[in-house]
Amino acid sequence: MTRCVVVLLLLAAHARAETAVAIAIGRDGKILARKEMTLDIDSKLLRWKKRDWKLDAFYLIESADGTLLWAPDYDSRMRGYELLARSRIRDEAERLLRSALRYKDAHLSRRLFEIAQDNGLNGKDADKLGERIEKLEARRPPPNKKAEQVKADAGQLDSVYADLLFLRVERELPRDRMVGLRMLRDLLILAPEHATARRVLKSLAPKKFSMGGPRNWLDWELDIAQRDAKLDSGEGFSMRQARKTWRKDLHGIRTGPILIITPVRDTAILGRTLGCCRMTTDLLASLFADYPVRRKKSDPLRIFLYENHEEYKRQSNVRGAAAAEILEFSAGHYSPEEGISRLYWLTARDAEQRIVGTAVHELTHHWLAEVNPAYNRTEGRRSSRTPGFWIVEGFARFLEEGVYDLDAGEWSLFDRRAAALDTLYSLRGSGKLIAWKKLYGGSAVTFWALNKEPKLKIQRRWRLGAQRISEMNLWYVQASATCQFLYHAEKGKYRKALLDYVVNHYTRKSAKMSIAVAFGLTPTELGQRVEDFAKAVAEGWEPAGRRAEGK
């Protein structure tokens, strides 16, 4: 196997340039090794053979003993280790292959040749080795006994990558614990039975971890702790009540303004839920950041996260056949009477897309009612007869139809494929829309009186096949499209007025719910502009300088 001795010389105590005999793994897969290189971090250059190379052309650069000299990010670093391992496997497999040929073991030679090819052996040398194997296979001589040692050495090739990673884990843990733990988990995914890695994990994990064994602890450390979340003590009133009325094996997770109460222990689901909920509250806080603070403290947003749909339906406190029917096809809802949002993680192919949209929608209702610092708790309790109810479902649907990147923690509130705009575009001028005056002047009582049967046939541009929606669905569509227009159109001219309208509705300022007072337009004029906006988006309009809006 290729090895090299490293000599590391600091050019000066204050300099960031280092000269070393090192290994550099390029993004083209090529490996520069056993050569003296000068690494200049300040100028982002690698100098080798009197030539300058840009550092971003490399996955990683490290000394042969594993001392990391450069890696732009974690993923690049791991890709570099993979390529380095493949290079070592290829070299070792080729060396063993030549021995197997010398000892006349045709079967072993073929197996080693395939391993070497899988890891990058090609060209004239590979062709010559292939010809030698074919000649040996044709003759089928008995293998020499010395081939047994070659066979034993070949059995070690499977562990080369895992052993390489383990050496890096040992080096990284004292320097950057979280990166070291992340590498340890990747190693255990690659080689779950790696004995030494398992012993290290066991030594790191708490002796008693309530959520499971050492491997569970590792997942919690990486997926939960990194999201600035921690296990709730479980002594609060909310947890005691939930354990009494739901189930006893619940635990709580706190992060920022969020308390998730759940029996779920899958850290992948919990991590995604936490990320989605935290991103939603960050988004809402940014929208209303310029308003005077009238509520300095609020109780955490209580979110019940269920293991499956049946548990979600059974535990949800709903009234009436219509509400039960909605519950049957939903992935979550906010209960204002209880001050709880209920969610469950779907197992369908599009699970993440659906749960993110649902969570954003329901948490928008939840946050506006119980957290928004622009008004106090008492004001946030809306009356069912407050006019302008379109803003409640419309604003939540508007945020739901944004574009969200949970990994980057970024969002954009404009999506040219948003279902509300697409549906409105298909129905404009058809005479089938809810009258704009009725929509904008209606209260919650008006909304719940709408027909819930899916009778209206529509054909959207971004969805195959026709579908049917109800009058209640249409309310969401028109209300959300209105928010899209008010937020984005005319360079954000109406954006502040839109946010003011939200605040005025939740503080029950009925006199300011008039469309004319709020936006200087009649309901019909505003509705027509919303329809025109849907048409413009369908024809390619986008906000100027559109980009991710938060992190």
Closest CA to 49 of 41, 38, 61: 38
Question: With contact defined as beta carbons under 8 Å apart, do 64 and 22 qualify?
Answer: yes
Rounded to whole angstroms, the Cα distance separating 223 from 406 reads 13
Other beta carbons within 10 Å of 338: 12
Total residue count of the chain as it appears in this document: 551
Buried b (16+ CB within 10 A) or exposed e, 502-532: bbbbbbbeeebbebeebbeeebeebbebbbe
pLDDT per residue over 440-499, tens digit each? Answer: 999 999 998 999 888 888 888 777 777 888 999 999 999 999 999 999 999 999 999 999
Q: Provide the pLDDT for residue 147.
A: 93
Rounded to whole angstroms, the Cα distance separating 274 from 406 reads 10
Question: With contact defined as beta carbons under 8 Å apart, do 485 and 420 qualify?
Answer: no
424 to each of 77, 115, 232, 455, how far by Cα in Å?
Answer: 47, 58, 45, 16
Mean pLDDT of the chain: 88
pLDDT band at 3 (very low <50, low <70, confident <90, very high): very low
Predicted structure pTM score: 0.76
Find which of 11-25, 44-58, 176-190, 506-520 is predicted with most confidence, using mean pLDDT. Answer: 176-190
- Alpha helices by DSSP H, listed for 191-340, are 195-204, 214-223, 237-245, 267-287, 309-315, 320-328
Question: With contact defined as beta carbons under 8 Å apart, do 475 and 349 qualify?
Answer: no
pLDDT of 15 above 50: no
Query: What average pLDDT does the segment 30-50 reach?
Result: 85
The residue ranges of every structural domain in the chain are 1-72, 382-551
pLDDT band at 520 (very low <50, low <70, confident <90, very high): very high
Q: Which one-letter amino acid corresponds to residue 309?
A: H
Rounded to whole angstroms, the Cα distance separating 305 from 54 reads 47
pLDDT of 276 above 60: yes
Burial classification of residue 140, based on how many CB atoms lie within 10 Å of its CB (0-12 exposed, 13-18 middle, 19 or more buried): exposed
pLDDT band at 88 (very low <50, low <70, confident <90, very high): very high
Rounded to whole angstroms, the Cα distance separating 78 from 86 reads 12
Q: Which residue has the higher pLDDT, 269 or 171?
A: 171
